Structure 1
Amino acid sequence: MNMQPTANVTAPPMPKTLAETGLSVVMMRDILLKSMFRMNVDLVSDLARVISLSVPLTQELIDMARGQKLVEATGTLHATSGNEMGYQLTDSGKARALDALSQSEYYGAMPVPLEHYGKQMKRQSVRDIKLTRDQLVRAMGHLILPPDLLGHLGPAVTSGRSILLYGPPGNGKSSISNGIRAAMGDKIYIPRAIEYSGQVITVYDPIVHSAAEEQTDDPNSLRRTGNRFDPRYVYCERPTVITGGELTLDMLDLKYNPVARTYQAPLQLKASGGIFIVDDLGRQVEPPQKLVNRWIVPLEESRDILALQSGEKFTVPFDTLVIFSTNFHPNEIFDGAALRRIFFKIKVDGPTQEMFLRIFAMVARKKGMPLDEGALLHLLKTKYPTIDNVFANYQPVFLIDQMISICDFEGIPYQMTPELIDRAWANMFVKDEKIAK
């Protein structure tokens, strides 16, 4: 789906000097040595790609390490790589790399200092998104929704504040959450890693982050094209993190690997600049009230507090649209204080009979199931009164898929009959009865 950008995101500038990276020279030198040791890379152009710096800055680090007798030229020109000189670690360089690895196994892309990261998040804040009704309609085009629902969703998304979607199950709360993400339509810059107090925290995660385009990793090409943006970042779709009943409070803390002595960003930090969806709220081990209490400071102050293994606490930007989705009534799972902190409360109800029939017809058409008036009347007049005519958005898909499976098994053309409706209906609900043990 081609959506027009909804925000004007400024790219992180390319560092022109080592000082502009914001990192200590010793840290950069050690990451260079560790990368050479672990990856056996010997060309400056390849090293620049690995550590995500420009060729000139990488060469400057190499020259510095050579001056300290940690790196030496191999004396070999690589004809296939533009006659580049090769480099290798000296015995002292290998010893220094091993010592640095014993302190932290992190190597590869240079991290972005936390302060620099905070500035970039302001440039690409989710709160700067200007979403129009047309964009939301296009993103939700595959859904049949009550006409007033978009009027509630639009201001909620544009505000960048927290949203609670509640209502009976099976009516598209999860689909709506994903549609909101699609409506955003623009792209931001995700750091491969950030640095705080000498510690490296990896942020970019291919499972969470979707690279928007092939990044120009060839440093020579970067030099020719004028260095479009800092290669320590990856140009990505705005991220979406979806959690459900598996969410626990410790998933919102920094993850420390005691073997590698490195940190991994928690879920909400990976979701920065995008959406964090807490689906099926009320199904987690921790009660909803406790989960929301964890979000109080981030939601109110746009900052989160994390802790290193040493116990030292520090603040990171919290620039995330948080969407809570639940099948429970809000008053059942929250107290008044918690509800006040969730800025928008939007009920997603089941469809009317008219909307249900539109959904049913749309699904049938997509799946190649011919509609039958007699079967539909049987469904509406005989089956739905048994459940007090409570319609849900998931039911058309369920019933039609059931009839398709029966037709496939029986070896008959796709068709809709009262008998097939009865057989499909029997699988949609479980009869309330006692089972002998």
Structure 2
Amino acid sequence: NGIRDALGDKIYIPRAIEYAGQVITVYDPIVHTAAEEQEEDPNSLRRSSNRYDTRYVLCDRPTVITGGELSLSMLDLVYNPTARTYQAPLQLKSSGGVFIVDDLGRQEEPPQALVNRWIVPLEENRDILALQSGEKFEVPFDTLVIFSTNFHPNEIFDKAALRRIFFKIKIDGPNQEDYLKIFAMVARKRKMPLDEDTLVYLIKNKYPSIDNIYANYQPIFLVDQMIAICEFEGIPYQMSPELIDRAWANMFVKEEKIVH
């Protein structure tokens, strides 16, 4: 969303497109956020320039996020036999915005197969879709595709695929200073009072057990765990070494046998 917001403008999304007499629905209220229309001043001598073709919807640039559930079929047209219309695939709905494939490598299809599906779109900015009849046609491919993975790229892509992914950015975990800033920000947002002694306990007694490896998700997890404990026990939100111990125990699974 931050990348989308950085673009800083709005776009017009067609409610539907038509090809060979077949209607393909593009606008999706789940994906697209319609922009608020500005009311026209009734005393103005000039009509507002905000009027536009109502076959389009003025929207924020879309952000489509998929994860392990992504399959190749979700990148094709979906036919609705009741309405006798098609639903646009995810990449077409994300036109003008951002398409994020999270947890790449955990999908049912191999990641190489997903990238192969996008070789032509990524290189030529056009995609090829097919109707039920088998007839194929081109549509624009105008979306910023971002792949996110915990695997090393060499484990999931061949050299040809790596060439087609132009920018590769390694995102490391935060250092201790940044970690504490994230923790403070999360606590402030959750209205959890910060306790300096508890943070010192966390840093000096807990993190050495995992080689002082900090991750961005950990502050949110720990704060939410402490909040859940406080709400369950009916006590005010608070931080303490005891609550940190209990929250920490839920963040990792112990290596122990399960007795049936």
TM over 0.5: yes
Q: Where in structure 2 are the equivalents of 1:332-351 lying within 5 Å?
A: 332-351=155-174
Q: Residue 240 in 1 paired to residue 66 in 2?
A: no
Q: Residue 203 in 1 paired to residue 26 in 2?
A: yes
Deviation sequence 1:347-396 (CA, Å, 0-9, x none): 11110011111111222233333333332222111111111111011111
Q: Where in structure 2 are the equivalents of 1:212-231 lying within 5 Å?
A: 212-214=35-37, 228-231=51-54
Deviation sequence 1:404-424 (CA, Å, 0-9, x none): 232333343333222221111
Which whole-Å CA distance do the structure 1 matches of 2:85 and 2:38 have between them? 25
Q: Residue 263 in 1 paired to residue 92 in 2?
A: no
Q: Where in structure 2 are the equivalents of 1:226-305 lying within 5 Å?
A: 228-305=51-128
- TM-align CA RMSD: 1.9
Q: Which has the higher contact order (CA 8 A, sep 6+)?
A: 1
| Aligned residue in 1 for 2:44 | none
The size of the alignment, in residue pairs, is 253
Which of 295, 301, 324 matches 2:147?
Answer: 324
Q: 1:426: how far off?
A: 0.8
Q: 1:215: how far off?
A: 8.7
User: Where does the alignment leave 5 or more consecutive residues of structure 2 unmatched?
Assistant: 40-46
Which whole-Å CA distance do the structure 2 matches of 1:227 and 1:371 have between them? 48
Deviation sequence 1:283-305 (CA, Å, 0-9, x none): 11001111011010000000000
Provide the TM-score with structure 2 as the length reference: 0.90
| Aligned residue in 1 for 2:213 | 390
| Aligned residue in 1 for 2:187 | 364
Which whole-Å CA distance do the structure 2 matches of 1:427 and 1:226 have between them? 56
Which whole-Å CA distance do the structure 1 matches of 2:119 and 2:66 have between them? 18
Q: Residue 314 in 1 paired to residue 137 in 2?
A: yes
Q: 1:227: how far off?
A: 8.6
| Aligned residue in 1 for 2:14 | 191
Deviation sequence 1:183-203 (CA, Å, 0-9, x none): 222111111111112222111
1:215·1:234 contact (CA, 8 Å) conserved in 2? Answer: no
Q: 1:258: how far off?
A: 3.0
| Partner amino acid, structure 1, of 2:7 | M
Secondary structure, counterpart of 2:169 in structure 1: strand
Secondary structure, counterpart of 2:27 in structure 1: coil
Which whole-Å CA distance do the structure 2 matches of 1:373 and 1:259 have between them? 61
Secondary structure, counterpart of 2:148 in structure 1: strand
Which whole-Å CA distance do the structure 2 matches of 1:227 and 1:352 have between them? 48
Q: Percent identity?
A: 82
Q: 1:208: how far off?
A: 1.3
User: Where does the alignment leave 5 or more consecutive residues of structure 1 unmatched?
Assistant: 1-177, 217-223
Deviation sequence 1:160-188 (CA, Å, 0-9, x none): xxxxxxxxxxxxxxxxxx21112222111
Which whole-Å CA distance do the structure 2 matches of 1:193 and 1:413 have between them? 52
Q: 1:260: how far off?
A: 3.3
Secondary structure, counterpart of 1:376 in structure 2: helix
Q: 1:319: how far off?
A: 0.6
Provide the TM-score with structure 1 as the length reference: 0.55
Deviation sequence 1:229-252 (CA, Å, 0-9, x none): 222111111111111111110111
Q: Residue 182 in 1 paired to residue 14 in 2?
A: no
1:241·1:277 contact (CA, 8 Å) conserved in 2? Answer: yes
Q: In 2 relative to 1, CA 411–206 (structure 1 residues): closer, same or farther, beyond 3 Å?
A: closer
